[in-house]
Amino acid sequence: MSKTVALESVVIKFAGDSGDGMQLAGTLFTDTAANLGSQIATFPDFPSEIRAPQGTVAGVSGFQINFGRSGVHSPGDSPNVLVAMNPAALKANLTNLKPACTIILDGDTFTKKEWEKAGFLVNPLEDNSLDDYKVIVAPITSLTKTNLADLGLDNKATDRCKNMFALGMIYWLFNLPTDQTVDFYKLKFGKKPIILEANIRALNAGINYGEIVQANTSSYTVLPADTLTGSYRNITGNQATAWGFMAAAAKVKRDLFLGTYPITPATDILHELSKHKWSGVKIFQAEDEIAGICSAIGASYGGNIAITTTSGPGMALKTEAIGLAVMTELPIVIVNVQRGGPSTGLPTKTEQSDLAEAIYGRPGDSPLVVIAASTPANCFDWAFEAVRIAVEHVTPVILLSESYIANGAEPWRIKKIQDLPEIKIDPVPADGSWQPYARNPLKKSRAWVTPGMKGYEHRIGGLEKESGSGNVSYAPKNHAEMCELRRQKIEKVADFIPLQRYKGKLEKKLLIVGWGGQFGILYGAVSELQKQGKDIAFTHFNYIVPLPKNTAEIFAKFETILVCELNNGQFADYLRAELPQFSYLQFNKMEGQPFTIEELIKKFNHVLADK
Number of domains in the chain: 3
Looking at the domain assignment, is residue 443 inside a domain?
Answer: no
493 neighbors 369 (Cβ within 8 angstroms): yes
pLDDT, one tens digit per residue, over 80-123 is 999 999 999 999 999 999 888 999 999 999 999 999 999 999 99
43 neighbors 265 (Cβ within 8 angstroms): no
Q: How high does pLDDT run on average in the chain? A: 93
Are residues 143 and 264 located together in one domain of the fold?
no
Task: Tell me the three state secondary structure of residue 259.
Answer: strand
pLDDT at 217: 61
pLDDT at 596: 94
Looking at the domain assignment, is residue 498 inside a domain?
Answer: no
- In order of 295, 330, 334, 455, 527, the CA distances from 302 in angstroms are 10, 10, 17, 16, 48
The dihedrals phi and psi of 203, each to the nearest 5 degrees, come to -60, -50
pTM for this prediction: 0.93
Are residues 99 and 17 located together in one domain of the fold?
yes
List the domain range (segments joined by +) for residue 531: 510-610
pLDDT at 48: 76
39 neighbors 411 (Cβ within 8 angstroms): yes
pLDDT, one tens digit per residue, over 389-438 is 999 999 999 999 999 999 999 989 999 999 999 999 998 888 878 899 99
Residues 6+ apart with CB under 8 A from 535: 507, 508, 509, 510, 608
pLDDT at 228: 63
Are residues 93 and 217 located together in one domain of the fold?
yes
Are residues 141 and 278 located together in one domain of the fold?
no
**E-strand spans in 330-423?**
332-338, 369-372, 396-402, 409-413
Are residues 241 and 215 located together in one domain of the fold?
no
1 band by pLDDT with thresholds 50, 70 and 90: very low
> Once rounded to an integer, what is the mean pLDDT over residues 346-373?
96
Looking at the domain assignment, is residue 473 inside a domain?
Answer: no
Looking at the domain assignment, is residue 499 inside a domain?
Answer: no
The residue length of the chain stands at 611
| CA 87/CA 116 separation, integer angstroms | 9
Task: Tell me the three state secondary structure of residue 545.
Answer: strand
Are residues 118 and 199 located together in one domain of the fold?
yes
Closest-CA residue to 310 (of 358, 371, 378): 358
Are residues 147 and 281 located together in one domain of the fold?
no
3 band by pLDDT with thresholds 50, 70 and 90: low
What CATH number has the domain bearing residue 217?
3.40.920.10
pLDDT at 167 over 50: yes
What CATH number has the domain bearing residue 589?
3.40.50.920
Range in 265-269, 447-451, 546-550 the model is least confident about: 447-451
Question: DSSP label at 468?
Answer: B
Are residues 189 and 95 located together in one domain of the fold?
yes
Are residues 260 and 112 located together in one domain of the fold?
no
Are residues 37 and 76 located together in one domain of the fold?
yes
Domain boundary among 403, 419, 435: 419
Question: Residue 385: is it exposed, middle or buried by C-beta count within 10 angstroms (0-12/13-18/19+)?
Answer: buried
> Once rounded to an integer, what is the mean pLDDT over residues 340-366?
94
Are residues 375 and 340 located together in one domain of the fold?
yes
The rounded percent of the chain whose pLDDT value lies above 70 is: 97
pLDDT, one tens digit per residue, over 174-233 is 989 999 999 999 999 989 999 999 999 999 999 999 988 764 566 677 767 666 677 888
Domain boundary among 389, 419, 449: 419
Domain boundary among 419, 453, 486: 419
> Once rounded to an integer, what is the mean pLDDT over residues 129-143?
94
pLDDT, one tens digit per residue, over 78-92 is 999 999 999 999 999
